[in-house]
A and B are shown apart, each in its own frame.
Chain A
């Protein structure tokens, strides 16, 4: 199997005719963990949603290939089946569908008819992963995200990540709203996935998650572009000094999208 690859070239994305992502380049390979950091409103969620195919976001320019294939030629479910995963900042709640049924449908969607995962095997896997994520087993039978607290939803996203085993995962603010213990649990889940066949893009505006998941590369996003890239030390400097020095360096007054002169 070839190493997973996600290659973004000169991407531009609009929402309701307002351009949010303004020419973004990034390449992620299997075995690599990238982090995108940046203050609120700089386009991080827009980037991740557009890559997954969220209906509200319009890609106006640029190329994205996923394992050599044109990502934007694929439907949302095809992207997922090709191995792309997005842990969403605000996961939906769906009434009447249990977490377990949902996960089983997701797994079986990747399998041929007649090759569906056996119930026993599924339950075994699910139990194992829920235990690792310190989730109460009752969550399997609750309706999908319905009434889950913020932290429970985040854990549930990681549970899906672990059950589905994608090739490249984007984790959009998986750390927000988590206390330090929950943060460690989520990090444990992600670290468990780490291998040469798995690439990951962690989106966050705090450095603290990166204390538990050491990234290979760190990028800073402002005004809908990556404005600076470096190694883990960049994250540490941001933690210590904030974003102002980058803004100064680049002559940016307001880092959010749409504020530039």
Chain B
């Protein structure tokens, strides 16, 4: 077996590495949050507390997996599976390095956006089927938030697509050989960053699950491994958004030759993972209506303007 896009070795190792990294993020996030809050974070299980993940996993696997009798069983069980599936599916188009990846798709960007839309079903079904007021509120918020932030998440990427002339993530990375897209597309980058946080409903946009307001939102009724899947799904989403930002705006695997390409990718992606965790540590959650107004009245026009200006510049550059 060789390292080429789509080989079985590739699929298995990407799947394993991505899931293990998402699980390790449980520890990374808690350590980093601790460090930024002048604490230490979990450091007692194993060296540096690295085995905390194992302990957490053991705990979550041995917990009672309870399905409430009033819940709608089928969709209740389906919901956590959807989020894991769609996020893992999205990873299939991410170009990690030359030869490392699962599909070399011509519609990579669209595929990721489509999967992100499907992810909304997970939180909606999870909240609806729980038959719980808090869960319902959470899923209402989630549905509105994800649907509206998806709009300009897509539009913010169109600038890049126009610059590259392709939806293929690999070609987008290769097109950045002489300049990362973050410079011409700085507005697109900021919008994508914000929309990405909102899509993966991480703090500060974790309004669908805001503990202090509505318990745990859409996963209030979940326990055991079903909750674990939502939990890991959220971290997978975090890795996914960081990888996407790396690939779309920061030149993916491109970097000085003294490190192998995959390291550059990992380095850039982990920077963004850490940045998202810093955002969680620092920024308070906006009110729900603030989030919506901010999205529709500010980010949407801004992303449209960005797209128009990009188009005009391309047109002027091509002498048309």
Instruction: Say whether A associates with B.
Output: no
